[in-house]
């Protein structure tokens, strides 16, 4: 039998998974991981290293795998060996944390919220993606249709089997509104576990699609006027194993702490969105009437709000406290899940620190409402808001944030001469 190998990976600032492999179990048991290069963090979505990156050709790192962040990928050919996939922290060669590691950024956010408020966050990611046949032909089927579901039945059954075998707790798989569009959701998990699973899920989807002669893309848009693919992040606050998000008698049923946490996200939303919807095409999607995030507000069950208070299902039980959650809707798969979640947790901590409140919970359509702040209309506008928001900037190691901005600025220059359709095509090809 072929010897199994392990792939040791990180997720970079453009949400691409990169890494190195070694023989299993030696590469895991050594505790030293595999070698890595600081400048790898400065790679763009399209492969080049950003101009003026802070690292140059200097330095060495180690990708040190986390045994709890692992997935097994089945063989790609007959009699082949499975591949063990591990997510890793980027560490200095003495084993100390590397300040620019995105996974460490999330760790720091989780630890700060727990330390300051004894609050933990349970999280679930919803992923939308588009499938096509390898020859470019469409999958076909009605929006949300049973025919669309059956057209990819072999793929979906294999996908759900792999997710279950890896303990990812898949909750739903469904055909979505767009042509060839599907959605897969995972059950709630502690924050870092949820972010790790979000990263690995994308790789599992793409890998499984290839084995069925399909192509999967998580690009935010296949075309500027087409239905978009989002990543919705469901959040609930817990303390010592008990939920603390719900309060029966308060506006929107948000507890005082949940209200402050949401207010922190709203306070810094125009800067945050640069980090959660990070591509040149993301803002084609983040507009009114696109059922994504058409305005900055908290709203009850409104799919155009930045923060949506999700419905309370009482068909079999009146106890909604454990399932009650808030959905952040302005993220997509061009953003690193560790950065997305770390940023949202830092924002919630700021809201709690300032005991911020929400003036109005929107209970109507957003259009024409005086209680809705407009979203940035381009990534450049969002990056300008980020540059002006000293609070958000303070959450990041300066070199990490500078590298992120350089990458996205280089991307804007690279795509500047392209039409919106051509820009979408470039992102489809790499996501």
Q: Mean per-residue pLDDT for 7-22?
A: 96
Q: How would you label 232-258 residue by residue, b for 16+ Cβ within 10 Å and e otherwise?
A: bbbbbbbeeeebbbbbeeeebbbbebb
Confidence band of 404 (pLDDT split at 50, 70, 90): very high
CB-count exposure of residue 203 (10 Å: 0-12, 13-18, 19+): middle
Q: What is the pLDDT of residues 375-401, one digit of tens each?
A: 899 999 999 999 999 999 999 999 999
pLDDT at 286 over 90: no
Half-sphere exposure of 264 (CA within 13 A, CB side): 21
End-to-end Cα distance, the chain: 34
pLDDT band of residue 370 (cuts 50, 70, 90) is low
Mean pLDDT of 348-357: 97
Q: Considering only CA atoms, which of 194, 129, 124 is closest in space to residue 156?
A: 129
| Structure confidence at residue 373 (pLDDT) | 81
Rounded to 5 degrees, what are φ and ψ at 309?
-80, 115
Residue 140: pLDDT above 70? yes
Q: Tokens 């059956």 label which residue?
A: 150
User: Of the given ranges (14-18, 23-27, 110-114, 163-167), which has the lowest mean pLDDT?
Assistant: 23-27
Domains of the chain are: 5-96 (3.10.20.70), 107-430 (3.30.590.10)
* pTM reported for the whole predicted model: 0.95
* Model pLDDT for residues 195-253, shown as the tens digit of each residue: 999 999 999 999 999 999 999 999 999 998 888 899 999 999 999 999 999 999 899 99
- Token look-up 């969002």 returns 382
Per-chain mean pLDDT for the chain? 92
């Amino acid at each position: 039998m072929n010897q199994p190998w392990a792939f040791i990976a990180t997720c970079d600032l453009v949400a691409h998974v990169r890494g190195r492999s070694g023989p299993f179990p030696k590469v895991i048991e050594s505790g030293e991981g595999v070698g890595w290069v600081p400048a790898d963090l400065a790679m763009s979505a399209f492969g080049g290293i950003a101009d003026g990156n802070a690292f140059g050709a200097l330095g060495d790192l180690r990708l040190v795998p986390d045994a709890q962040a692992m997935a097994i990928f089945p063989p790609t050919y007959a009699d082949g060996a499975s591949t063990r996939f591990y997510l890793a922290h980027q560490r200095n060669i003495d084993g100390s944390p590397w300040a620019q590691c995105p996974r460490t950024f999330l760790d720091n956010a989780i630890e700060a919220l727990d330390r300051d408020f004894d609050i933990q966050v349970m999280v679930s990611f919803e992923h939308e993606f588009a499938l096509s046949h390898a020859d470019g032909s469409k999958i076909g089927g009605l929006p949300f249709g049973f025919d669309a579901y059956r057209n990819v039945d072999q793929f979906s059954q294999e996908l759900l089997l792999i997710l279950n075998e890896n303990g990812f707790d898949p909750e739903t798989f469904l055909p979505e509104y767009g042509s060839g569009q599907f959605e897969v959701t995972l059950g709630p998990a502690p924050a870092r576990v949820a972010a790790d699973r979000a990263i690995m899920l994308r790789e599992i989807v793409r890998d499984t699609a290839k084995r069925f002669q399909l192509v999967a893309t998580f690009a935010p848009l296949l075309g500027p006027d087409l239905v978009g693919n989002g990543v919705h992040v469901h959040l609930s606050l817990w303390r010592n194993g008990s939920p603390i998000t719900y309060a029966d008698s308060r506006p929107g049923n948000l507890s005082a702490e949940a209200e402050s946490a949401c207010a922190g996200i709203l306070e810094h939303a125009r800067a945050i969105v640069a980090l959660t919807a990070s591509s040149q095409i993301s803002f084609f999607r983040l507009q009114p009437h696109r059922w994504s995030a058409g305005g900055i507000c908290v709203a009850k069950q409104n799919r155009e709000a930045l923060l949506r208070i999700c419905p309370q299902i009482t068909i079999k039980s009146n106890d909604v406290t454990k399932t009650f959650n808030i959905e952040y809707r302005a993220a997509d798969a061009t953003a690193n899940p560790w950065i997305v979640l770390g940023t949202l947790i830092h924002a919630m901590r700021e809201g709690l620190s300032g005991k911020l409140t929400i003036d109005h919970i929107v209970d109507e359509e957003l259009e024409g409402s005086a209680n809705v702040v407009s979203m940035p209309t381009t990534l450049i506008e969002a990056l300008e808001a980020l540059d002006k928001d000293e609070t958000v900037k303070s959450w990041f190691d300066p070199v990490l944030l500078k590298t992120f901005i350089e990458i996205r600025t280089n991307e804007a220059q690279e795509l500047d001469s392209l039409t919106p359709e051509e820009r979408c095509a470039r992102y489809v090809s790499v996501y």
